[in-house]
Structure 1
Amino acid sequence: MSLSTSAAPAGPDMRTQTVRDGRAARRVSAWLFAMCALAALMVIVGGATRLTDSGLSITEWKPVTGAIPPLSEAQWLEEFEKYRQIPEYQIVNRGMSLDEFKTIYWWEWGHRFLGRLIGVAFLVPLAVFAATGAIGRALALKLFGIFLLGGAQGALGWYMVASGLSERVDVSQYRLAAHFGLAVVLLAAMFWLALDLRRAAAGRDGAEASPPRRDLFWGALALAAGVYLQMILGAFVAGLRAGRTYNTWPLMDGRFFPEAYFDGAPGFSDLFESIAAVQFNHRLGAYLLTAGAVWFWLAARRTAVEPRARALLVGVLAQAALGVWTLLAATPIALGLAHQAGALIVFMLALYVVHGLTMSMSITNGSSSS
């Protein structure tokens, strides 16, 4: 994904220039960083809809006309009547007042509206950058691919919601994990390209000042993959509301390995459908990531990568502590959202480390071949 500008050192990338000059690279990278912030906000608002039980309040998917909320009492009553037909209302929320319905409706409407806003905020500047020649064809195609993936993310979100409208009182935890996972992939793609462009505009950074060690690169890559996997495990915890049970630490119901890990006869599905299993898996993932972050920091000492390794370690330790606090408090909304935001920060830190090492290895390989 390396990018170049006219101000960058001459090399193979200059033949496939992807940005017009350093100024264009700075503008496009700033826009992408802003899109990352919006995408992160979208993920957090999605977490809020989950924690407030708002996700099923809108029972139809109208990508265009759905941007307009109910504007009259009659329209509100019509939306409420649709909600009253689904199992969540009939089994969980029977007797809910119209005002209570409006509260959960606004959470879900805000989540969907933010998704539409992100689509516009992405497509319009992309069209301007492409039309003015600020970006080359290669980068434009990558960015347009991200836009299309964002549209698929919206469709996947509806596929998730649809799972809770007929035979369940909640959405499928599998579809929730897929929806969340794709959102994180989109965020990562924009963040990586933004880092590429920032480097193209500013030149080499400190992580590239000394020859890279391949063990550090592979270690950082493993940590980034581990953080992503841990986030997916967290989505299963959210999907089963497993954070509101076994609210003790470090033991679960007085045991390190919970007795209820397998629900009946052991089976593979228990890993994702047993409350005890998904919470234990998430705890175990946190322990492994903490150990990995400590190892990486120790291995990176006295190298140019150490500042990034230290930041990643601090992020992992803070997130682990926040996770324990959230668990002991039985996942109140504020702590639940803070924990989700912390996960995004840790993942971005891990990608930042990998990106620096990737650029360093690219430079070294280019120098050896020249």
Structure 2
Amino acid sequence: MKIEEFKNIFYWEWSHRMIGRFIGVSFILPGIYFASKGQMSRRVAKQTLAITSLLGFQGFMGWYMVKSGLSDALMKEPGSVPRVSQYRLTAHLATAIAIYASTIFVAADIIRQNKIASGKYPQHVASMLNSPALKRFRIASHSLGALMMLTVLSGGLVAGLDAGLIYNEFPFMGEGIIPPTNELWSDDYVKPTDNGKWRNLLENPTTVQFDHRTLAETTATLSTVLWLYSKRLPLPKNARLAINTMMGAVALQVTLGISTLIYMVPLQLAAAHQAGALVLLTSNYWLIHSLRRVPL
């Protein structure tokens, strides 16, 4: 590696760390100020402390992830390159999403509670949200959010294993929709202490990519079903806008995912695909919060 190539990698990493530290400071210092001034309810103070703890844990996870790429064992084979653990990468991603989701829900809850306390929350909207007709839809939106999260985390495994650099076609993987069984459940990833071939799900690039595709296709299909179902329900304007936005985000993310794959993961498309995942999750969080019951 030439010095200019190293500088490029170094400054990406340095910038990422500086942004992470800035996020921590920009959250913790105002939190201390508002808490000291008595401008937080007991509940919000506890939530803020929990998010602060997550921020600290995220810093640890970042160090722990980078540390996994410094092992000499990774460089024994000819042509090897340093690589962080896909497990630690995915855990780092999961913590980041947990922080992001927590801030969204806490902030949205503060805004809603303020409207309720000041009597500015529309009564007709509260009545619609408390309708028994929305119970199944509310449960389905939560379940879909869990599936989206699982799909994103499987994408972390794909990134960690460079699994997007194989089978660069869609919808097929080789000669069929499903790759050969001996590739999906290869003995190459089985350790003597394993009970079965389950490790393929986490360490075999072919299996990991297939799982991510399957989860993404399932998410897109169920999102479409939920969107169609929503048209039969008396939703408040905010919830209607949220489900429509989520459907648009699904279409965008599917397009970005397929494009990233068939063009062999160029940096720009890969970054857009990651951003698309965050947009999709955000739209789901919006939907979930917009459906929460309101005390009359």
Q: If the length of structure 1 is used for normalisation, what is the TM-score? A: 0.69
Structure 2 equivalent of residue 341 of structure 1: 275
Q: 95, 98, 103: which one pairs with 1:190?
A: 103
State the partner residue of 2:229.
299
Shift of 1:219: 0.3
Q: In 2, distance between residues paired with 1:234 and 1:208? A: 38
From the superposition, tell whether residues 334 and 208 of structure 1 become closer, same or farther in structure 2 (CA, over 3 Å).
farther
Matched, 1:261 2:184: yes
Contact conserved, 2:61 with 2:92, CA < 8 A, in 1?
yes
- Number of the residue aligned with 1:36: none
Indicate whether 1:149 and 2:54 are aligned.
yes
Relative distance call for 1:208 and 1:341 in structure 2 (3 A) is farther
Structure 1 residue 209 displacement after superposition: 5.0
Contact 2:47 2:106 (C-alpha < 8 Å) held by counterparts: no
Give the equivalent residue in structure 2 for 1:223. Answer: 144
What is the distance in 2 between the residues matched to 1:147 and 1:158? 17
Q: Percent identity?
A: 34
1:1-370 equivalences under 5 Å are 96-166=1-71, 167-168=73-74, 169-202=82-115, 203-204=120-121, 208-210=126-128, 211-212=131-132, 213-259=134-180, 260-264=183-187, 267-301=197-231, 302-304=233-235, 305-358=239-292, 360=293, 363=294, 366-367=295-296
User: Within 1, Cα distance between the matches of 2:140 and 2:126?
Assistant: 17
- Residue 201 of structure 1: CA displacement? 3.3
CA distance in 2, matches of 1:345, 1:307: 14
C-alpha distance in 1 between matches for 2:96 and 2:176: 35
Q: Secondary structure, in 3 states, of the residue corresponding to 1:163?
A: helix
| Structure 1 pair 204–258 and aligned structure 2 pair: CA distance change class (3 A) | farther
| AA partner of residue 91 (structure 2) | A
Matched residue SS, 1:249:
coil
Q: Is the 8 A contact 1:208 1:356 kept in 2?
A: no
More helix by share: 2
The alpha-carbon deviation at position 144 of structure 1 amounts to 1.7
Secondary structure in 2 matching 1:164: helix
CA distance in 2, matches of 1:323, 1:204: 39
Give the total of aligned pairs.
267
Distance in structure 1 (CA, Å) of the matches to 2:197 and 2:6: 39
Q: Which runs of 4+ in 1 moved over 6 A?
A: none
Q: Normalization by structure 2: what TM-score?
A: 0.86
Partners of 1:327 and 1:221 lie apart in 2 by: 29
Q: Cα offset for 1:196?
A: 0.6
Deviations 1:326-347 (A, max 9, x none): 1111111111000000101110
The 8 Å contact of residues 192 and 355 in structure 1, kept in 2 or not, is answered as yes
Return closer, same or farther for 1:357/1:115 CA change in 2, 3 Å cut-off: same
CA distance in 2, matches of 1:109, 1:230: 29
User: C-alpha displacement at 1:194, in angstroms?
Assistant: 1.1
1:207 and 1:357 in contact (8 A); partners too: no
Once the two structures are TM-superposed, the CA of residue 200 in structure 1 deviates from its matched residue by: 2.4
Counterpart residue type for residue 184 of structure 1: I
The amino acid that maps onto 1:156 is M
Q: Return the alpha-carbon distance in structure 2 between the equivalents of residues 303 and 114 of structure 1.
A: 43
Taking the aligned partners of 1:181 and 1:207, their CA distance within structure 2 comes to: 34
CA distance in 2, matches of 1:164, 1:318: 33
Three-state SS of the structure 2 residue aligned to 1:142 is: helix
Q: Which runs of 5+ in 1 are unaligned?
A: 1-95
Change in CA separation of 1:267 and 1:200 when aligned onto 2, cut-off 3 Å: same
Query: For 1:329 and 1:190, how far apart are their aligned partners in 2?
Result: 35
